Amino acid sequence: MYIVQIASECAPVIKAGGLGDVVYALSRELEIQGNTVEIILPMYDCMRYDHIWGLHDAYRDLSVPWYGGAVHCSVYCGWVHGRLCFFIEPHSQDNFFHRGCYYGCDDDNMRFAFFSKAALEFLHRSNKRPDVIHCHDWQTGLVPVMLFEIYKYHGMEYQRVCYTIHNFKHQGIAGAEILQATGLNQEAYYFQYERLRDNFNPFAINMMKGGIIYSNHVTTVSPHHAWEARFTDIGYGLGHTLHSFQYKFKGVLNGIDYDVWNPESDRYIPGHYSKDNLAEKALNKKALRARLLLRDVDKPLICYIGRLDDQKGVHLVHHAIYHSLFKDAQFVLLGSATGAKINAQFQHEKRFLNDNSDVHLELGFNEELSHLIYAGADMIVVPSNYEPCGLTQMIGFRYGTVPIVRGVGGLINTVFDRDYDQTKSPEKRNGYVFYESNYQALESAMDRAIGLWYDYPEEFRKLVVQGMEYDYSWNIPGAEYLDIYDYIRHKWSEVIAA
Ligand SMILES: Nc1ncnc2c1ncn2[C@@H]1O[C@H](COP(=O)(O)OP(=O)(O)O[C@H]2O[C@H](CO)[C@@H](O)[C@H](O)[C@H]2O)[C@@H](O)[C@H]1O
């Protein structure tokens, strides 16, 4: 099968969070399972060019219709750790992707509406006719809309779309100008409730809603989150839409790339180990402490790795730092704040804790350091308010780092409490789970984990191994996506918005 992924991130060349991991790793798995995959991305000025091999011109004069005129683009092509990627660079005064950041600009809606249009125009002009286009999150929600409403009439009537939602919070809610810019026009038509009109703001269109309605199949990134999105406020207003289209919506649990995240061969860690021989994990703990100037003492080391965003339960992340110190554990945080307020709060905390040799806060994005932390820590906390899937607990399992998580979204599908889980036998349990979003709940889970580490080290080691025995690779989810692609190619020929 020939699959094209259209996305705003692909690790490690463009990675702000988990979306980048998924786009890369799913593509790799689909190729391993015998398919051809290409990835279309924006050409950001700040992406990691050192991860692209053989970058060259692929299509010089791509003219993308825009606001009744056209924007001239160049398309480059190169390999990102074996994946064939196309990068679209527009040449216009808007400088859409020359902003020194991936997201966070006032005109993000316009930037990614343009990218979606340019990606389709590129497929159309270069005569690429994938069997399936797989697009991701609000940034590419207009891809199926434009495919069905415009490009279908230009020789792209056989392409099918799978649309994956990684985060319902950001939906691309925009004004009518997006319709004019992209050439969709016809305000009265698109502002119908059955089409793009936002479910709560009658004067806005919602790109994610468009993605849901016009795609042949919609997924989110874990079965439990699929349920939450439909039946709780975690759908951020799209619950009714998902409910109406439930026959084409499901949750597919993400995996992680077992090649990138492999403690037996990871080039960013000094000690290589496996579940059968854990000895060298201690070397990584030592190296991590040395690198971050922490005391080398007999204490458990707890970490947090992730975006610092309301989604991630920052008040609990903050509390976890102080509770670890109180319980005689060390703490390492690696986080990039998505807002100025949270950034200022953690900068303050970092200064306050600067002289404490049991804690280190690293604010910013650092892929290499993240590997050493996963390998060196004993436990990882994931106290999210909501978590569509969560990759950090899965990477934790892979590196023998026991997760302490809040029981929401994909965390429920992957972490099974050592003491209380009713669904798994004791030898299949792998971490600690708490449910309420308050300090007491977090503390009770952390206390159980830290207590086991101190009082029953052999039991703790068993728990580590039980986590490492789980298979959270892309093997199974990759096959599940192939089933979906197969289904929409062969058994499904109409888009519902027809
Ligand atoms: N400061 C930093 N330095 C280095 N590396 C960092 C980092 N901050 C985060 N990372 C890395 O980025 C990834 C984050 O994974 P998450 O599951 O937390 O994704 P995120 O919430 O961004 O995305 C959304 O999409 C993913 C994928 O579908 C879902 O799992 C998730 O629930 C959903 O919120 C991990 O690989 C982590 O190691």
Domain-by-domain residue ranges, the chain?
A: 2-255+476-497, 281-472
pLDDT at 492 over 90: no
pLDDT at 80 over 50: yes
- Probe target for ligand 1 pocket from 21, 261, 384, 474, with the most ligand atoms within 8 Å of CB: 21
Q: What is the reported pLDDT for 497?
A: 47
Confirm whether residue 15 is marked as ligand binding.
yes
Interval 212-240 mean pLDDT: 97
State pTM to two decimals: 0.96
Q: Tell the residue nearest (CA) to atom 26 of ligand 1.
A: 18
Q: Contact 40/9 with Cβ under 8 angstroms? A: no
For residue 381, give Cα distances in angstroms to 260, 347, 401, 483.
21, 20, 10, 34
The dihedrals phi and psi of 417, each to the nearest 5 degrees, come to -60, 130
Q: Which tens digits make up the pLDDT trace of 433-477? A: 999 999 999 999 999 999 999 999 999 999 999 999 999 999 999
Q: Which residues contact 70 (CB under 8 A, 6 or more apart)?
A: 63, 64
Q: Tell the residue nearest (CA) to atom 20 of ligand 1.
A: 18
Ligand 1 atom nearest to CA at 367: 4
| Strands across the sheet containing 69-80 | 52-66, 69-80, 83-91, 36-42, 2-6, 132-136, 160-165, 217-220, 249-251
Residue 22 Cα, ligand 1 centroid: separation in angstroms? 10
Interval 47-76 mean pLDDT: 97
User: What CATH class does 2-255+476-497 carry?
Assistant: alpha beta
Q: Which tens digits make up the pLDDT trace of 146-155? A: 999 999 999 9
| 71-78 contacts, C-beta under 8 A, 24 or more apart | 71/114, 71/118, 73/118, 73/122, 75/122, 75/126, 76/43, 78/52, 78/53, 78/54
Q: Which fold would CATH assign to domain 281-472?
A: Rossmann fold (3.40.50)
Q: What is the reported pLDDT for 490?
A: 86
The count of other CB atoms within 10 Å of the CB of residue 46 is: 12
Interval 269-295 mean pLDDT: 97
Tell me, yes or no, if the two domains 2-255+476-497 and 281-472 fold the same way. Answer: yes
pLDDT at 261 over 70: yes
Q: What is the reported pLDDT for 398?
A: 98
**Ligand 1 in reach of 403 Cβ (< 6 A):** no
Asked if this assembly's ipTM is beyond 0.85, the reply is yes
Ligand 1 atom nearest to CA at 164: 28
Q: Which amino acid is at 237?
A: G
Q: Contact 396/374 with Cβ under 8 angstroms? A: yes
Peptide bond into 12 cis (omega under 30): yes
Ligand 1 atom nearest to CA at 17: 22
Q: Report angle CA 54, 56, 57 to the nearest 5 degrees.
A: 165
Residue 174 Cα, ligand 1 centroid: separation in angstroms? 26
Interval 285-307 mean pLDDT: 97
Q: What is the reported pLDDT for 495?
A: 52
Paired with 403 in beta bridges are 380
Ligand 1 atom nearest to CA at 387: 32
pLDDT class for 493, splitting at 50, 70, 90? low
Q: Which tens digits make up the pLDDT trace of 152-197? A: 999 999 999 999 999 999 999 999 999 999 999 999 999 999 999 9
Residue 464 Cα, ligand 1 centroid: separation in angstroms? 22
